[in-house]
Amino acid sequence: MSDAERLRRRVGELSWWHAMDLGDGVVTPGGWDLRPAAGRIPWPGSLGGLRCLDVGTMDGFWAFEMERRGAAEVVATDLADPAAQDAPAGRAPGGPTPEARLRGRTFALAGEALGSRAEYRSRNVYDLDPSHDGEFDLVFAGYVLQMVRDPLRALEAIRSVCRGHLILLDTVSAPLSLLPAPLARLNARRGHLEWFVFNRAGLRQAVAMAGFEAEATTGLIRDTAGPGVAGTLSPSMRARHAIGVLGRSMAIRARARPSPPRR
C-alpha cells in the first residue's frame, strides 16, 4: 500500500469539517471548503515571524493556512468535547461524548500529513488568558461568534490575548428588505445550532465594543460546499444559497486598541 493510500484510509476513518489538501491527491471530505475564502481574507501583509492563534480551529484549516503563509508559531484552540459547547435548552447533548467524536484527531492527522508544527489546545474561547496562553500578533476567529451564547464576552477574551490584529470571519444575515434591520438576530437560521447572526454593521459594532478598531472589511464571501456535502444539498437549500439567504460571510481585519490604564 502506498503512502497516499494509507493516508486516504486514515482520513476516511474520521469525520471532517474542512476540505483540506493534504498532498498526494488526498483531500479531506469536509462539508466546508474554505480554500476559495482564503484568498479573500484581508491579511495584514506578511505573517513572517508572527505568533498566531486560530480560535475554534475544528480540523485546523486556518491554523495551517497561517503557517503556510509564514507564521513563526501557531496555536490552535477549540473545545475538544462538543458537549461543552454553548447550546440552547433541549439541544445540549446528554451523556459523555463518544471518543470517536472528540475533536482534535482530525487536526492531529492533518498536521502530521502537512508536517505542521502548530499546537492544538483544548480551550473554551471564554477561557483565553494572557497569563496562560501568552499574547499573539494575529488572532483568527472563523465562524466562532455565531456558535457562542455571549459573542461580546468571547471577543473580549480574544482581545485579552491579542497584541496586534484580529481577523474575524463570520456568517452575516441577509437584509430582508430596504427597512433597517437589527444588528443581530437570535436563532436567525432555525435548524442550525447558532445563537446570534450579525449583519455587517452589527459585526463591525461588536468588534469595536470589544476593543478593536476595524481597518479593512471584505465584501460578501459566498460559502463553498466541500466534498462532504457537495451533490447532496436539496434543491431548496441550493436555491437559498443562490439567492443569498444562506451562505453569506464577511471578514474584518481589526487592530487591538491600547487598553486604558487601570485606576
pLDDT at 10: 96
**pLDDT digits over 62-99, tens only?**
999 999 999 999 999 999 998 888 988 777 666 678 87
Domain boundaries, the chain: 29-86+113-256
For the cut 90, the answer to whether the pLDDT of residue 241 exceeds it is: no
Pairing of strands 119-122, 73-78: parallel
**pLDDT digits over 98-132, tens only?**
877 788 999 999 999 999 999 999 999 999 999 99
- Alpha-carbon distance of 30 to 20, in angstroms, equals 8
Helices (H) and strands (E) in the chain, counts: 8, 10
Structural class in CATH, domain 29-86+113-256: alpha beta
User: What is the percentage of the chain residues whose pLDDT exceeds 70?
Assistant: 84
pLDDT at 239: 43
The dihedral region occupied by 26, where left means phi > 0, alpha psi between -120 and 50, and beta the remainder, is beta
Mean pLDDT value across residues 246-260: 87
DSSP 21: B
pLDDT at 96: 72
